[in-house]
Amino acid sequence: MGVTIKDIAKHAGVSYSTVSKALRDSPLVKEPTKKKILAIAEEIGYQPNVAARSLVSKKSNTIGVIWPTIERVAHSALITRINQYLEDQGYTTLVSINRINTAVTTFNRFQVDAILLFEDTHSDYRFSSSVPVVSYGIASNQPEVPTIDANRREAMKEAVAYLHKLGHKEIIYIGEISEQDPLQADKIKGFKQGLMENNIPFSDEMLIPVPELEQYDGYIATKAMLDKEKKPSAIISSSYDCTKGILLAIKEYNLSIPGDISIISYDNVPQVEKLEYSITTVGVPLDTIAKEVTNILLDTIEGKQMDQSILLQPEINVAKSCRNLYS
């Protein structure tokens, strides 16, 4: 085990420092020598030792992702995407599923170049990290940790405004009604604000709660809602999975979209393309978020000063699921 540059050096009959330079493609070593060394390295299966390398270079080309709640599937698509972008930039991501403090400590020991923190709830922690930390989702309770997030509130406001522009007044919101989860709470705030700004009176029946944001929950909630005599003209769904369930329920009741009922879905994930209906969505495209987060991580590594808090602006992706009541 453990082929080192010294082994390569022996095989090639050069000094190990020459090998090091050849492997890093330094101009300080002649082309033929470089070729030869590279070939030998390949042949004897050389793998650079990160420990040694980062010991001297103080860089590990690794980003630590803290994701304590893997059991909740919420961020997995985003993390996958970010991982890809970082890989393109020559970085490796490593995920820790431990408590925030433990994870920060681990990543500091490993001298990752930056830490990306996903947190779902406002938990009470406090850590010190010599490695820069960027938080996605909700503002960390460490004020010095910059945060990036999608502007959920704005998205919901836009959704309401869009529906109102099409003449909708009986709008309902299907989603998680939780004070605990600030991400969900924010959406509801946006919904209410949107109503207010468009002079639509709010009432509690406009909020249909679901226990979780899964397909199943959307399905059940929608069926219960459709069983009532008074049906809304439009539904705002608070997540893609929820939307899937809503669509199925609507189909089961033989209602047409957007003929009988309009629907706009939060989340801007590529999967919407695959749905049976062409669904209008609002939100920050997953890919945009991934790109932004990646860039911020890279900037942070390069020591660029950044804003403390970045809110990504949502986009409406108009499809055919909302009916214009005026036409």
Partner DNA sequence: TATATAAATAACAACGTTGTTAAAAAGAGG
Partner DNA sequence: CCTCTTTTTAACAACGTTGTTATTTATATA
262 contacts a second copy (rule: CB under 8 A): no
130 contacts a second copy (rule: CB under 8 A): yes
The entry of a second copy, DNA, none that residue 46 binds, CB within 5 to 8 Å by partner kind: DNA
For strand 207-209 and strand 309-312, is the pairing parallel, antiparallel, or unpaired? unpaired
Min CB(29)–a second copy separation in Å: 23
Nearest CB to DNA, comparing residues 53 and 189: 53
The entry of a second copy, DNA, none that residue 165 binds, CB within 5 to 8 Å by partner kind: none
Nearest CB to DNA, comparing residues 16 and 202: 16
Nearest CB to DNA, comparing residues 201 and 303: 303
Task: Answer whether 296's CB lies under 8 Å from 310's CB.
Answer: yes
233 contacts a second copy (rule: CB under 8 A): no
Q: How far apart are CA 71 and CA 233, in angstroms?
A: 36
198 contacts a second copy (rule: CB under 8 A): no
Min CB(129)–a second copy separation in Å: 10
Nearest CB to a second copy, comparing residues 33 and 106: 106
Q: How far apart are CA 255 and CA 257, in angstroms?
A: 7
> Using CB under 7 A as the criterion, which residues of the chain lie in contact with DNA when the complex forms?
2, 4-6, 13-18, 20-21, 23-24, 28-30, 33, 46-49, 51-53, 55-57
Compute how many residues bind a second copy; rule: CB under 8 A. Answer: 45
> CB-based contacts of 252: which residues, under 8 Å, 6+ apart?
223
Helix (H) or strand (E) holding 11: helix 5-12
Min CB(98)–a second copy separation in Å: 7
Block residue for tokens 């890809």: 84
The entry of a second copy, DNA, none that residue 29 binds, CB within 5 to 8 Å by partner kind: DNA
Token pair of 70, please? 């893997």
Block residue for tokens 């001297």: 56
Q: How far apart are CA 310 and CA 241, in angstroms?
A: 26
User: Smallest Cα–Cα separation from 259: which of 277, 236, 238?
Assistant: 277
254 contacts a second copy (rule: CB under 8 A): no
User: Smallest Cα–Cα separation from 5: which of 32, 28, 30, 37?
Assistant: 37
101 contacts a second copy (rule: CB under 8 A): no
Nearest CB to DNA, comparing residues 29 and 213: 29
With b for 16 or more beta-carbon neighbours within 10 A and e for fewer, the 200-223 pattern comes to beeeeebebebeebbbebbbebbb
| Contact residues for a second copy, defined by CB under 8 A | 1-2, 45, 47-52, 54-55, 58, 60, 70-71, 73, 76-77, 79-80, 83, 87, 92-98, 102, 105-106, 108-111, 128, 130, 214-216, 219-220, 245, 248
